[in-house]
Chains A and B, each alone.
Chain A
């Protein structure tokens, strides 16, 4: 079955530290993956998609088919990055992981 796994419920770092939010997937085919973010008291919104190979707010994510991973990375965390992050897989519908809460301390 298609599945998205985010092993960490909570990730806490200090400002300026590197961040890596883990995402692993199970998919029989060529996957299409996304990262969605929900800031406090805001709506869930798209952060980035793997097909675009873009950097948004300093975040990047590389699809690793060998490891079936799509980890989200940022070299220097900012306090405003504190939010819930969801990895999602497109299987003609979005399948979301359980999310990771990122806390960035000053």
Chain B
């Protein structure tokens, strides 16, 4: 069964360092999402791609976060510089439809980031 892949699974970094996460969606899924999940909270959307275009990045802290999906397949989320408050689980998800009602999102295992 096809799954969303993410790497690394765990990342420890010092504040002010750069960190990058990678996501490979389910083959054929045009829509890709990056979420941040702080401990004790639900996932919060950071950025949504439709193919290689950004559809929604309203919650992405653009001064330090960037995301790309150059060929409309896999995606990278970068943080530079990392801050202590960035410690969280970063989830990637994909779906076969965009902002269409009743779509199902398939989630990856997440990358747990700890900033020290």
Contact = CB atoms under 8 A, between A and B. Distances in A.
Contact of A96 (B42, B48, B56, B102): B42
A97 B42 contact: yes
Contacts of B99: 92-93
A19 B4 CA distance: 31
B104 interface: yes
Interface residues of B, number: 23
B91 interface: yes
Contacts, number: 46
Interface in A29-85: 32, 43-46, 49, 51-52
Determine the main DSSP class of B at the interface with A. loop
Given A97-B42, A98-B40, A98-B41, A44 B101 contact: no
The size class of the interface chain A forms with chain B is: 20 to 34
B101 A94 contact: no
Contacts of A93: 33, 45, 48, 56, 99
Interface of A: 4, 9, 32, 43-46, 49, 51-52, 86, 88, 90, 92-94, 96-99
